[in-house]
A and B are shown apart, each in its own frame.
Chain A
Amino acid sequence: MNDYRNLASELVSALKKQGADAADVYITSSNGFNTTVRLGEIEKLQQSTSKGLGLRVFKNGATALTFTTDFQGKTVQELVKETLEIVKVSNTDKYNGLAPKEFLGEYKGNLMIFDESIMKLTPEKKIAMVKEMEEAGRAFDKRITNSNGASWANSVGQVTLANSDGFVGQYQATVASMSVGLLAEENGVKQGDGWYTFNRYFNKLASPKSVGEEAARRTIRRLGGKKVKSQAVPVVIDPAVAGNFVGMLFGAASGSSIYRRSSYLVDKVGQEIVAPAITIIDDATMTDGLASRPFDAEGVKSSSVTVIENGVLKTYVCDSYAARRLTAKVTGNAGRTYQSAPGVAATNLFLKNGKDDPKDIIKSVKNGLYLTEMFGSGVNGVTGDFSQGASGYWIENGEMTYPVQEITIAGNVLKVLKNVQAIGNDLSFRLGSTASPTLLISEMTVGGE
């Protein structure tokens, strides 16, 4: 991959020369390969090389952004001039600007986000693994009747950032993933589900066989789904869903939601907002973390940020704009693409492990829901109210029984996290960069018949 540090620095100089008070240049590039196999046959082979650059300027307190995928000298030079034309449309906002100089820098620890071995795998090897994964799933049980396809994807991505305060940084990260979707059929009803594995390191991926078999187990266990009556019951939240609540809370603690007053956490720093057993951390420096990076989208050195400690909101999470608005601290949470200006985003965000074995948590429930999926856009970030479609398994006398489907789950994020009665010891980042262990909530409203 090309080293774009010089290009980025040159463009910053060019923007300054054209009259910018301050500027930054953000360049992303990636190479990737993905393939899908379905029923043993290759369905898709895809190769990609992709790049884009964004120019951001500040002039007289106003800001503007332009971007392009065309890196030719002529285009880019015209774009520089154009950026300084467009900025005239924007208004002065005294909070605009680059991140404070004292925060700029690179985290020097070994993040373990680049695995050279991924780049050396041949397409044949990747296809063979995907076929093995799909086959293992299909052979697992005779009720597995069809496949939605099995895929491999790998990519190496590079981020380059330079700004007019002298910051120049660049890093590369790899990721590989395998996933498979299967269908099961029983009594004329079809059900689909699947499983996946991903990691920054090839040798840390789950084996093709284990992923295929887990996909089959998950698909089969959906068979025989029922609706239930509407009721308020204890709910055990599977880690796959518990992370959603952590993400919702992060959104409300985002400095940009706070200064807009579009959050239920306005004026709550220092207060106990959820159960004292809850601690939530956003750590951009986690070893081999999917969202780990040496610096954020404004060049702020990465760190670990404790957002909630023992139930108390410790800080809002801020990019430099939100921090200036709120006279708060920059937390290194700026995220962006080359097409967009920085905004507040989570990195590796998690609720800290508790002490309880998830099995014991389930055993403690006499009659309740084990929640495995939530879907829909019914989350109100301003109030914390949510109402979503859901599915899971019914718990009776401490045992998982039948699957439940076509239900809803509704409540308020803060109320739910205040009513946490047990926290599992099963935190894992296998499912994504936002994670939580199993949670037991004393009561939630399940909507059904």
Chain B
Amino acid sequence: MKRRDFIVKGAFALGAVATSDLWLSKIVAGESAMLKNPLLDTYFQVSQEQIKKVLGAALAKGAEFADVFFEYRITSNLSFEEDMVKSARRGIVQGVGIRAVKGDQIGFAFSEELTLEKMTEAANAAAAIASDNTTKARIQPIGAFTPKNLYKINELATTADLNKKLECIKEANEAAKKYDPRIVRVNVGFNDEVKHIAYANSDGVYWEDSQPMFMFQTVCIAEQNGRRETGYTGGGGRIGLEYFNQKRKPSDIAKDAARLAVLNLSAVEIEAGLQTVVLGNSDSAVLLHEAVGHGLEADFNYKKLSNYSGRVGEKVASEQCTVVDEGLFENMRGTINVDDEGNSPQSTVLIENGILRGYMNDRISAKKLGVKSSGNGRRQAYNYPPMPRMTNTYLRNGKYSAEEILQSVKKGIYAKGFTGGNVDITKGDFTFSCSEAYLIEDGKITTPVKGATLVGNGPDVMTKVAMVGNDLKFTDGGWTCGKNGQMVPVGMGTPTVKVSEITVGGTKVKGKAE
């Protein structure tokens, strides 16, 4: 058994595309602004009095802190293949998670039924984490909250006209088919969701948030002389249908998927071994996510499980590296108005000019380490307890142009697209897998290479970052991060980066004919 934390593109993206009058009539900010706890009243029909009773039950055996997390998630998905809507799917998941905390010990229970009886039952189960009755936490009155809105949306996908969505899908389908006669199959998916959350804890913190998510994706298969290859492209974030005007049109996404499928038809096998690697901007941030991100989540550090434990103030990367986690960028996939424990996300500098500055904290780890929560307490859903997670993690710009970086490499690999990665946080060994990569010959990008895998050790590879570009770009949706069985959407970004050497997996061995 080996616990590895990981990231994947596309495949695990939460589905969602709702358009029904039934469950959409309830929705949306504005109209319910007159209510004090609009989401609580609209979606959960739970009163403040009931919440107090439930928190009281969770604290009854001596816990020092308790919280309740209500969730009402509307998801929907349209899947288009062989020129038709193959399936339409829509659903509602609702539930409440109740947690009692004592030190770093937690009792946790959840229920899909929001009756006082069922919630109290769950609270009693959570309360059992404490049994000495020594502390008697008092429940603070539920406070007011000031809504924030980092997800400004013109046209929420969940309430959008279904025909408009179908037009987007058809536009993508046609564009992919037309791209090249070798494209033999196109699959277009339109997924969106809205997750309504109400949160209260025994310290009197109360929050509501409606978190939208939208993902549009195309998969193409190209075929030539019996060889088949695939290409995937997706885009989205906490944004509405205006995405297609502001960022990429459906046809842009589809053409990119088709391009990748066709490109891979001519990809060649790669030589295994140590190579100089130039990582393109944007999706290459998967390196940061694996090489440093997970290792800097504070739970791994106060437990001394991470290779970065106890190393704040030490040099852990090349001085060209400044790494930040920031859940504040508007409309980005990893952005949150509030974390799942009622704390506001921050701009947290993790590594500054190569020096380790701090970790990403949730409430428990912050208390353990004697710092403030950085607002990184996140959970997949009501039926999971929160833990420290990344939001949008990025590497700040350096001074080189992408061209200068490429020109400095005589022979190497240029890696641009990735399907995912994972890391063993204890030793720091990571793997990530390319979906688009090329040879670099004499400073120029040349032949595409077959899906290569890069492996290395996080702390080691970060010292081998030889050049950092000035072209920082964030990923366009799509990434989902997994840790201890919980999946959360994340964003990330990086400028072009040169790593002086890294092991590249391949099927060819130097000097040996295949």
Identify the A interface with B (CB < 8 A): 38, 41-52, 54, 62-70, 75, 78, 81-82, 85-87, 89-93, 123, 146, 148, 179, 181, 183, 189-196, 215, 225, 227, 229-232, 260-262, 264, 339-341, 373, 375-378, 380-383, 385, 387-389, 391, 405-412, 445-449
Q: Is the pair A93, B228 in contact by a Cβ cutoff of 8 Å?
A: no
Q: Is the pair B85, A90 in contact by a Cβ cutoff of 8 Å?
A: yes
What is the distance, in angstroms, from B264's C-beta to the closest C-beta of chain A?
A: 9
Interface centre among B88, B271, B304 (most CB of A within 10 A): B88
Q: Is the pair B273, A376 in contact by a Cβ cutoff of 8 Å?
A: no
What is the distance, in angstroms, from B441's C-beta to the closest C-beta of chain A?
A: 20
Q: Is the pair A191, B104 in contact by a Cβ cutoff of 8 Å?
A: no
Which of chain B's residues have a CB closer than 8 A to the CB of A51?
112
Known: A70-B112, A260-B221, A388-B505. A376 touches B422 (CB 8 A): yes
Interface centre among B75, B305, B455 (most CB of A within 10 A): B455
Which of chain B's residues have a CB closer than 8 A to the CB of A64?
87-90
Complex Cα distance A65/B422, Å? 33
7 additional A-B residue pairs with CB within 8 Å, beyond A82-B22, A448-B503: A64-B90, A81-B22, A90-B85, A260-B221, A375-B2, A378-B434, A381-B230
> Scoring B residues 202 to 233 as 1 if CB is less than 8 Å from chain A, else 0, what string do you get?
00000000000000000001010001111000
Q: Is the pair B89, A65 in contact by a Cβ cutoff of 8 Å?
A: yes
Q: Is the pair B272, A43 in contact by a Cβ cutoff of 8 Å?
A: no
Q: Is the pair B88, A191 in contact by a Cβ cutoff of 8 Å?
A: no
Complex Cα distance A389/B455, Å? 6
Of A62, A215, A382, A388, which one neighbours B221 at CB under 8 angstroms?
A382
B420: interface (CB < 8 Å): yes
B84: interface (CB < 8 Å): yes
B162: interface (CB < 8 Å): yes
B residues 299-313 touching A (CB-CB < 8 Å): 303-305, 307
Q: Is the pair B1, A196 in contact by a Cβ cutoff of 8 Å?
A: yes
B64: interface (CB < 8 Å): no
Q: Is the pair A48, B110 in contact by a Cβ cutoff of 8 Å?
A: yes
13 residue pairs A–B, Cβ–Cβ below 8 Å = A45-B107, A64-B87, A68-B92, A90-B88, A146-B303, A262-B221, A339-B75, A376-B453, A387-B450, A389-B429, A408-B453, A410-B453, A410-B505
The 8 lowest CB-CB distance pairs between A and B, nearest first, are A408-B505, A389-B431, A447-B272, A192-B426, A91-B84, A377-B420, A378-B433, A67-B91
Known: A179-B1, A408-B503. A192 touches B427 (CB 8 A): yes
Which of chain B's residues have a CB closer than 8 A to the CB of A408?
272, 431, 453, 455, 503-506
Which B-chain residue is minimally distant from A264 (CB atoms)? B228
Known: A341-B89, A377-B8. A410 touches B272 (CB 8 A): yes
B3: interface (CB < 8 Å): yes
Known: A373-B2, A408-B506, A447-B506. A89 touches B85 (CB 8 A): yes
Q: Is the pair A405, B91 in contact by a Cβ cutoff of 8 Å?
A: no
Q: Is the pair A87, B92 in contact by a Cβ cutoff of 8 Å?
A: no
Which B-chain residue is minimally distant from A321 (CB atoms)? B86
What is the distance, in angstroms, from B106's C-beta to the closest C-beta of chain A?
A: 5
Which of chain B's residues have a CB closer than 8 A to the CB of A406?
429, 455-457, 503
> Scoring B residues 100 to 128 as 1 if CB is less than 8 Å from chain A, else 0, what string do you get?
00001111111110000000001001101
What is the distance, in angstroms, from A209's C-beta to the closest C-beta of chain B?
A: 17
Complex Cα distance A54/B87, Å? 14
Q: Is the pair A387, B112 in contact by a Cβ cutoff of 8 Å?
A: no
Q: Is the pair A191, B427 in contact by a Cβ cutoff of 8 Å?
A: yes
Q: Is the pair A409, B505 in contact by a Cβ cutoff of 8 Å?
A: yes
Which of chain A's residues have a CB closer than 8 A to the CB of B429?
389, 391, 405-406
Q: Is the pair B455, A148 in contact by a Cβ cutoff of 8 Å?
A: no
Which of chain B's residues have a CB closer than 8 A to the CB of A42?
105, 129
Q: Is the pair A89, B505 in contact by a Cβ cutoff of 8 Å?
A: no
Complex Cα distance A406/B502, Å? 10
Which B-chain residue is minimally distant from A373 (CB atoms)? B2
Of A69, A232, A262, which one neighbours B112 at CB under 8 angstroms?
A69
Known: A87-B88, A449-B503. A230 touches B272 (CB 8 A): yes
Which of chain B's residues have a CB closer than 8 A to the CB of A48?
109-110, 383
Which A-chain residue is minimally distant from B90 (CB atoms)? A66
Which A-chain residue is minimally distant from B4 (CB atoms)? A375
Known: A183-B426, A445-B509. A380 touches B90 (CB 8 A): no
Q: Is the pair A261, B426 in contact by a Cβ cutoff of 8 Å?
A: no
Complex Cα distance A380/B269, Å? 14
Interface centre among B4, B108, B227, B451 (most CB of A within 10 A): B451
Main secondary structure of the interface of A (DSSP, over half): strand
Complex Cα distance A189/B307, Å? 9
Of A41, A43, A86, A378, which one neighbours B453 at CB under 8 angstroms?
A378
Complex Cα distance A82/B291, Å? 46
Known: A44-B105, A45-B107, A378-B451. A227 touches B503 (CB 8 A): yes
Complex Cα distance A54/B108, Å? 27
Which A-chain residue is minimally distant from B505 (CB atoms)? A408
B508: interface (CB < 8 Å): yes
Which of chain B's residues have a CB closer than 8 A to the CB of A146?
303-305
Complex Cα distance A365/B19, Å? 61
Q: Is the pair A86, B20 in contact by a Cβ cutoff of 8 Å?
A: yes
Which of chain B's residues have a CB closer than 8 A to the CB of A409?
505
B452: interface (CB < 8 Å): yes
Q: Is the pair B451, A385 in contact by a Cβ cutoff of 8 Å?
A: yes
Q: Is the pair A190, B507 in contact by a Cβ cutoff of 8 Å?
A: no
B369: interface (CB < 8 Å): no
What is the distance, in angstroms, from A255's C-beta to the closest C-beta of chain B?
A: 15
Complex Cα distance A387/B305, Å? 28
Which B-chain residue is minimally distant from A381 (CB atoms)? B230
Which of chain A's residues have a CB closer than 8 A to the CB of B273?
229-230, 447-449
What is the distance, in angstroms, from A339's C-beta to the closest C-beta of chain B?
A: 6
Complex Cα distance A381/B419, Å? 13
Which of chain A's residues have a CB closer than 8 A to the CB of B509?
230-232, 445
Which A-chain residue is minimally distant from B422 (CB atoms)? A375
What is the distance, in angstroms, from A147's C-beta to the closest C-beta of chain B?
A: 9
Q: Is the pair B2, A43 in contact by a Cβ cutoff of 8 Å?
A: no
Complex Cα distance A162/B85, Å? 25
Q: Is the pair B84, A93 in contact by a Cβ cutoff of 8 Å?
A: yes
Q: Is the pair B229, A376 in contact by a Cβ cutoff of 8 Å?
A: no
Known: A63-B87, A262-B230. A194 touches B106 (CB 8 A): no
Complex Cα distance A165/B422, Å? 45
Which of chain B's residues have a CB closer than 8 A to the CB of A375?
2, 4, 422, 431
Q: Is the pair A49, B111 in contact by a Cβ cutoff of 8 Å?
A: yes
B residues 348-388 touching A (CB-CB < 8 Å): 383, 385
Q: Is the pair B129, A47 in contact by a Cβ cutoff of 8 Å?
A: no
Which A-chain residue is minimally distant from B107 (CB atoms)? A45
Which of chain A's residues have a CB closer than 8 A to the CB of B184?
261
Q: Is the pair B106, A448 in contact by a Cβ cutoff of 8 Å?
A: no
Which of chain B's residues have a CB closer than 8 A to the CB of A196?
1
Complex Cα distance A428/B229, Å? 35
Q: Is the pair B451, A38 in contact by a Cβ cutoff of 8 Å?
A: no
Q: Is the pair A191, B1 in contact by a Cβ cutoff of 8 Å?
A: no
What is the distance, in angstroms, from B415's C-beta to the closest C-beta of chain A?
A: 12
Of A45, A91, A192, which one neighbours B128 at CB under 8 angstroms?
A45
Which B-chain residue is minimally distant from A405 (CB atoms)? B429
Of B91, B166, B304, B512, which one neighbours A68 at CB under 8 angstroms?
B91
What is the distance, in angstroms, from B80's C-beta to the closest C-beta of chain A?
A: 9
Q: Is the pair B506, A410 in contact by a Cβ cutoff of 8 Å?
A: yes
Known: A376-B422, A382-B221. A44 touches B106 (CB 8 A): yes
B residues 476-514 touching A (CB-CB < 8 Å): 503-510, 512
